């Protein structure tokens, strides 16, 4: 019995919903002229908006990254460790996919902004180009603090004012938010991609090119730093030990020449001491030289190879909002807003008429 009652209630609710839809359809059909007017207004607004927007130029750069590896040098590295030398390792926090984080880091983007480019035969930083191209300098003319602000070529970073640092950070934040995208399109391939989209074709092309050069320099130094430091220490020690060995050989020859008569045993003592020095220095020099060669090999192995596959070339991909498409979208938005307004307003007016009739 209760199931029958519930079914009847559901039928009544469904009928009420259908009746409500019928009433709304009648209301909307009577207001067709309003939809036409609002659709035309939305279309005109959309067309006007599309006309005001500038074209966007998109550059794309693809590169591959090959990490350095120890390969079959594990035994050689263990041998070097026995003599107290750390020849470095190719593993670390900045390997593999972390290259994307380095590219989009504040350090790399700001270094790119401070890079000195040549424009119209004059040296100018990318940051000043950015402010000029995208109209920021025109907006700064009304502000006395920002009117004369710039980033002159060759100015050391520690000489920047607080205002310059703040403006540089804002440029970095804006570039990452609306212009620059870096990532790995295919997780299975060891290839990475940088995209840059701005309203200036030249800027969209040169910025990622300079950015990747800055990244290659920084990443190479970072990955090979430990091996390079070890190599420099070993080169100094080998040179020093070779000098000591050569001095000992020369001193022995001079001592032998001074002791012309070898009949006396006392005359042999200085020569024996020099021979002992030569053997010690020679043995140490031989071991250090071996470790020096291992360090050189490690340094070369730890240097990553970042190879550019595709670089941006003119003409860049140009995209612009179409007037017709934007007009259609504007009409649909205005039509939806009209339905919402009617949905809110019609019950209110119906309620007012009911109160008045009473």
**pLDDT > 70 in the chain, percent:** 68
The residue behind tokens 């009949």 is: 263
**Which of the listed ranges 72-86, 303-317, 332-346 does the model predict with the highest average pLDDT?**
303-317
Q: How many CB atoms lie within 10 A of CB 244?
A: 15
Cβ–Cβ < 8 Å for 113, 172: yes
Buried b / exposed e over 117-135, threshold 16 CB at 10 Å, is beeeeeebbbbbbbbeebe
At 318-328, the pLDDT tens digits run 887 777 777 77
Q: What is the pLDDT of residue 291?
A: 76
Q: What is the pLDDT of residue 83?
A: 46
How many residues does the structure list for the chain? 358
Which of 11-15, 106-110, 286-290 shows the lowest per-residue confidence on average (mean pLDDT)? 11-15
Whether the predicted pLDDT of 341 surpasses 80: no
Tokens coding 205: 């092309």
Residue-averaged pLDDT of the chain: 75
Q: What is the pLDDT of residue 274?
A: 65
Any idea what DSSP says for residue 303? S
Q: What is the pLDDT of residue 189?
A: 79
Q: What is the pLDDT of residue 170?
A: 93
Q: What is the pLDDT of residue 19?
A: 66
What's the CA gap between 253 and 326, in Å, rounded? 94
Summarize the confidence of residues 213-242 as an average pLDDT. Answer: 78
What's the CA gap between 256 and 234, in Å, rounded? 33
306: left (phi over 0), alpha (psi -120 to 50) or beta: beta
The CATH label, of 1.25.40, 2.40.50, 3.30.1890, 2.40.360, for the domain at 56-318 is: 3.30.1890
Summarize the confidence of residues 250-275 as an average pLDDT. Answer: 60
Q: What is the pLDDT of residue 259?
A: 60
Q: What is the pLDDT of residue 113?
A: 95
In a 3-state reduction of DSSP, which class is residue 242?
helix
Tokens coding 245: 């060995």
Any idea what DSSP says for residue 54? P
What's the CA gap between 125 and 116, in Å, rounded? 4
pLDDT band of 260, cuts 50, 70, 90: low
Tokens coding 313: 């070339």
Tokens coding 83: 């003599």
Q: How far is CA 57 from the centre of its chain?
A: 19
Q: What is the pLDDT of residue 82?
A: 47
Whether the predicted pLDDT of 70 surpasses 90: no
Whether the predicted pLDDT of 168 surpasses 80: yes
The residue behind tokens 């209760």 is: 2
Cβ–Cβ < 8 Å for 44, 327: yes
Which of 29-38, 76-85, 264-273 shows the lowest per-residue confidence on average (mean pLDDT)? 76-85
120: left (phi over 0), alpha (psi -120 to 50) or beta: left
**Beta-strand (E) ranges in the chain?**
56-66, 116-119, 122-125, 180-183, 191-198, 305-310, 317-319
Phi then psi for 142, rounded to 5 degrees? -85, -10
What's the CA gap between 141 and 129, in Å, rounded? 16
Summarize the confidence of residues 132-150 as an average pLDDT. Answer: 85
Which of 84-98, 192-206, 232-246, 306-320 shows the lowest per-residue confidence on average (mean pLDDT)? 84-98
Q: How many CB atoms lie within 10 A of CB 141?
A: 10
Any idea what DSSP says for residue 89? -
Summarize the confidence of residues 57-76 as an average pLDDT. Answer: 69
Among 67, 108, 125, 56, smallest CA distance to 91 is for 67
What's the CA gap between 87 and 218, in Å, rounded? 20
Whether the predicted pLDDT of 352 surpasses 50: no
What's the CA gap between 315 and 205, in Å, rounded? 10
At 94-119, the pLDDT tens digits run 455 688 889 999 999 999 999 999 88
Whether the predicted pLDDT of 3 surpasses 70: no
pLDDT band of 165, cuts 50, 70, 90: very high
pLDDT band of 355, cuts 50, 70, 90: very low
The residue behind tokens 């080169």 is: 235
């Amino acid at each position: 019995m209760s199931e029958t009652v519930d079914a009847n209630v559901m039928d009544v609710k469904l009928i009420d919903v259908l009746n409500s839809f019928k009433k709304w359809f009648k209301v909307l059909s009577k207001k067709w002229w309003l939809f036409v007017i609002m659709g035309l207004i939305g279309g005109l607004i959309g067309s006007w908006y599309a006309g005001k927007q500038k074209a966007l130029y998109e550059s794309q750069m693809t590169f591959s990254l090959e990490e350095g590896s120890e390969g079959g040098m594990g035994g050689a590295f263990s041998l070097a460790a026995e003599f107290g030398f750390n020849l470095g390792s190719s593993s670390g926090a900045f390997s593999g996919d972390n290259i994307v984080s380095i590219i989009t880091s504040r350090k790399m983007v700001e270094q790119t902004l401070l890079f000195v480019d040549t424009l119209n035969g004059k040296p100018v930083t990318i940051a000043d180009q950015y402010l000029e191209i995208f109209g920021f300098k025109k907006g700064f003319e009304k502000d006395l603090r920002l009117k004369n602000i710039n980033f002159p070529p060759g100015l050391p970073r520690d000489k920047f004012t607080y205002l310059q640092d703040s403006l540089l950070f804002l440029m970095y934040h804006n570039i990452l938010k609306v212009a620059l995208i870096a990532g790995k399109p295919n997780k299975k391939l060891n290839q990475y991609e940088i995209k840059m989209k701005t309203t200036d074709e030249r800027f969209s092309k040169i910025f990622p090119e300079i950015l990747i050069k800055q990244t290659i320099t920084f990443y190479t130094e970072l990955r090979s730093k430990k091996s390079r430091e070890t190599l420099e220490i070993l080169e100094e020690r080998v040179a020093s030990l070779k000098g000591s060995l050569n001095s000992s050989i020369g001193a022995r020859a001079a001592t032998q020449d001074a002791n012309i008569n070898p009949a006396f045993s006392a005359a042999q003592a200085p020569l024996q001491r020099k021979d002992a020095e030569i053997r010690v220095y020679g043995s140490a020099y031989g071991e250090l030289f071996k470790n020096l060669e291992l360090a050189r090999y490690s340094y070369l192995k730890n240097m990553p190879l970042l190879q550019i596959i595709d670089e941006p070339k003119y003409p860049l991909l140009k995209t612009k909002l179409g007037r017709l498409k934007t007009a259609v979208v504007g009409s649909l938005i205005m039509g939806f807003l009209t339905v919402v307004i009617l949905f809110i307003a019609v019950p209110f007016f119906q309620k007012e008429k009911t109160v008045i009739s009473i």
